[in-house]
């Protein structure tokens, strides 16, 4: 029997759509059990000062490796966790996990910064302030050393988000607007909410030194951040040319595969030893 290629292709497509839908609906239960089984862990991506290449901080990024060995990326399971009311449990898990591994990180490197991503539910909930207060106390970090990363797409209720962000800043925690430029009304937020850092989304960094239609946008973002006096962090820097260009335009910090991929905490510490071997002495004196 010969089956036309077209039919075969649509059968295959239907099968994969079915499989994805099946995992999606099963996911809430799977996430719940993964929390119990502690299948989540953190990796840290260096945050670099472009002028010197020094690691001045890191972003904590959640990872999920299932017992089957399958790795599920956060872009897939975070939205599901948000939709089914499990996100706060995940945020607590991340905070606890970080506190448990941070050890004497901040004592040895007093100037180090760690970025923690918060979800939509967190940025609308005043209890998040408490979570960060506890995190600072548990790790011995100065509040100024823990950066709250909130993506602008998560601001559903502007005035509530603004209240929580304002409170975080009053408590001394710097707040970064993440994935800047990817939401619906980036400019409106900047007018209403004060931020400490603006993370230029990778999609704009990608256009540097290309002739893509959007390649001029990154310059406008930079100009605006300068006018508002917000420190910038470029995300997803992959080439020396991008780093050079951004630095010349006045972007102070960067993150990306050029400098380092997300890595286990132990590896971050090893890198820090090499990058800032003097920090020990500074902390001791
Ligand atoms: P994000 O906060 O914007 O994090 C940056 C993402 O870009 C990370 O993806 C990182 O691995 C990736 N990245 C960094 N540099 C490069 C590069 O040079 N090239 C490429 N191709 N990618 C790069 P990841 O770890 O998959 O995280 C995706 C998103 O999931 C994060 O975006 C954040 O929104 C969310 N997320 C991660 N961890 C957490 C968490 O603990 N809590 C919450 N609520 N969300 C999290
Ligand atoms: Mg982030
Ligand atoms: Mg981002
Ligand atoms: Mg992102």
CA atoms of 164 and 47, how far apart (whole Å): 25
Reply yes or no on whether the pLDDT at 178 is more than 80.
yes
pLDDT > 70? residue 18: no
| Confidence class for position 9, pLDDT limits 50, 70, 90 | confident
> CB–CB of 239/207 below 8 Å?
no
Centre of ligand 4 to C-alpha 200, Å, is 10
Q: Is 75 helix (H, G, I), strand (E, B) or coil?
A: helix
Phi, psi of 148 (to 5 degrees): -90, 115
C-beta 119 within 6 A of ligand 1? yes
Locate the ligand 1 atom nearest the alpha carbon of residue 116 and give its number: 41
Q: Name the pairing type of β-strands 40-49 and 253-254.
A: antiparallel
Tokens of 256: 């990306």
Beta strand 175-180 pairing with 146-151: parallel
Does the beta carbon of 154 lie inside 6 Å of ligand 1?
no
Mutation test of ligand 1: which of 117, 146, 208 has the most ligand atoms closer than 8 Å to its C-beta? 117
Phi-psi region of 229 (alpha: psi -120 to 50; beta: other; left: phi over 0): left
Averaged confidence pLDDT in the chain: 91
Whole-number Å distance, alpha carbon 262 to ligand 2 midpoint, is 12
Are residues 13 and 209 in contact, defined by beta-carbon separation less than 8 angstroms?
Answer: no
- Nearest residue (by CA) to ligand 1, atom 4, is 61
Which numbered atom of ligand 1 lies nearest the CA of 199?
Answer: 3
> Which residues are bridge partners to 48 per DSSP?
55, 254
Measured CA to CA, the distance from residue 99 to residue 106 in angstroms comes to 11
Q: What crossing angle do the helices spanning 87-102 and 74-83 adopt, rounded to 10°?
A: 130
With 80 as the cut, is the pLDDT of residue 204 above it?
yes
Does residue 117 line the site of ligand 1, with CB under 6 A? yes
What confidence tier does 285 reach under pLDDT thresholds 50, 70, 90?
A: very low
Q: Kindly tell me if the per-residue pLDDT of 156 is higher than 70.
A: yes
Tell which wins on pLDDT, 215 or 136: 136
Q: What distance in angstroms lies between residue 10's CA and the mean position of ligand 1's atoms?
A: 33
Is any ligand 1 atom within 6 A of the Cβ of residue 101?
Answer: no
Mean pLDDT for 230-237 is 98
Q: Which atom of ligand 1 is nearest to the CA of 149?
A: 2
Q: Residue 3: its pLDDT value, please?
A: 72
Over residues 14-33, mean pLDDT: 77
* pLDDT tens per residue, range 73-127: 999 999 999 999 999 999 999 999 999 999 899 999 999 999 999 999 999 999 9
Ligand 1 atom with the shortest distance to the CA of 237: 18
Quote the percentage of the chain above a pLDDT of 90: 75
Predicted confidence (pLDDT) at residue 16 exceeds the cutoff of 90? no
Mutate which of 74, 132, 181 for ligand 1 pocket (most atoms within 8 A of beta carbon): 74
Highest mean pLDDT among 15-19, 23-27, 151-155, 188-192: 151-155
**7 Cα–ligand 2 center, Å:** 43
pTM of the complete model: 0.90
Q: For residue 73, which atom of ligand 1 is closest to its CA?
A: 26
177 vs 262: CA distance, rounded Å:
20
Read off the tokens for 187: 């400019």
pLDDT of amino acid 281: 45
* Residue with the two structure tokens 């470029």: 234
Instruction: Indicate if ligand 1 lies below 6 Å from the C-beta of 236.
Output: yes
């Amino acid at each position: 029997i010969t089956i036309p290629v077209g039919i075969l292709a649509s059968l295959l497509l239907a099968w994969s759509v079915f499989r994805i839908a099946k995992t999606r609906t099963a996911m809430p239960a799977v996430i719940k059990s993964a929390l119990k089984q502690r299948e989540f862990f953190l990796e840290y991506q260096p945050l670099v000062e472009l002028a010197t290449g020094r690691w001045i901080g890191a972003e904590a990024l959640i990872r999920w490796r299932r017992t089957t060995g399958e790795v599920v990326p956060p872009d897939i399971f975070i939205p599901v966790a948000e939709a089914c009311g499990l996100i706060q449990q995940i945020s607590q898990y991340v905070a606890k996990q970080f506190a448990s591994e941070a050890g004497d990180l901040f004592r040895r490197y007093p100037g180090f910064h760690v970025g923690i991503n918060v979800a939509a539910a967190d940025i609308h909930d005043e209890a998040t302030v408490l979570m960060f207060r506890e995190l600072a106390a548990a790790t011995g970090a100065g509040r100024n050393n823990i950066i709250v990363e909130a993506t602008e797409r998560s601001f559903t209720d502007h005035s509530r988000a603004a209240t929580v962000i304002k409170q975080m800043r009053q408590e001394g925690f710097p707040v970064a607007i993440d994935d800047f430029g990817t939401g619906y009304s980036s400019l409106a937020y900047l007018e209403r909410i004060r931020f400490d850092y603006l993370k230029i989304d990778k999609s704009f960094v990608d256009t540097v030194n290309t002739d893509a239609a959007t390649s001029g946008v990154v310059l406008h973002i930079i100009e605006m951040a300068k006018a508002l006096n917000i420190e910038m962090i470029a995300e997803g820097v992959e080439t020396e040319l991008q780093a050079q260009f951004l630095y010349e335009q006045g972007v102070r910090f960067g993150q990306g595969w050029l400098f380092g991929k997300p890595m286990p905490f132990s590896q971050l510490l090893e890198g820090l030893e090499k990058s800032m071997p003097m920090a020990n002495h500074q902390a001791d004196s």
